[in-house]
Amino acid sequence: MRRVVLMAILALALPVAAFANSIAVTNIGGTISQNGSGGLTLSGSTIIHFGNTVGSNLGTLSFSIDGPLATGDLQNGGTFSPGGTFTIAISGGPTYTGTFSSATWIMQTDASGNHQYTLQATITGSNFSAFTFQVGLTQKGFFSGSTEVGSGDTVITTVPEPGTLGMLGTGLVGIAGLVRRRIKLG
């Protein structure tokens, strides 16, 4: 019975160790503008929240979507082709860079006639599994090629490197073998 309990604990420990970590990021300010290729660029946006750290200037967030919209337009909303760069640079800390795997530009009109634009995107990179990114802006008229950003939210999901998971699994199997041997001898 004791052996079954130990093996069950071991079986439950491995998947828990493989869970990825998430980091919440909030940015304010900056300008979203149409770039020369018909995509969008964000510059001058300041990070005010990174994980458990809150401050007035923790770093910068910027992006450039390379291609034009695959469907729709910048005034009414649409979907971008994959591609472009996304960068979060924390002052004195990590830098996350990635490529847009999907990006949707959404326009909604509120009751007062203001247009609310939201860019929702998923970004992939080498040291994380995915960003989900959302930035919103509200203005009286349609998007005319450039506007100021109110705020944005990003969730970075980091991925444990495969070598670390392999060493963890090998270590757990070794411990299980020692426990099994000890049970047989005891």
pLDDT of residue 7: 53
pLDDT in tens, 150-186: 878 888 776 655 555 555 666 666 677 767 777 777 6
Angle at which helices 162-185 and 2-17 cross, to 10°: 170
CA pair distance 125, 131, nearest whole angstrom: 9
Higher pLDDT pick, 41 / 3 = 41
Place of tokens 């411990």: 175
Length of the chain in terms of residues written: 186
Confidence band for 91, pLDDT divided at 50, 70 and 90: very high
pLDDT of residue 3: 57
Place of tokens 């052996």: 3
pLDDT of residue 151: 79
pLDDT of residue 16: 46
Phi, psi dihedrals of residue 169, rounded to the nearest 5°: -60, -45
CA angle 142, 133, 139 (to 5 degrees): 20
pLDDT of residue 178: 63
Closest CA to 68 of 35, 46, 111, 24: 35
- 75, 100 Cβ separation under 8 angstroms: no
pLDDT in tens, 23-53: 888 999 999 999 988 899 999 999 999 999 9
Terminal-residue alpha carbon distance, the chain: 14
Confidence band for 115, pLDDT divided at 50, 70 and 90: confident
pLDDT in tens, 61-90: 999 998 788 999 999 999 999 999 999 999
Higher pLDDT pick, 56 / 151 = 56
Is 138 a residue whose pLDDT tops 90? Answer: no
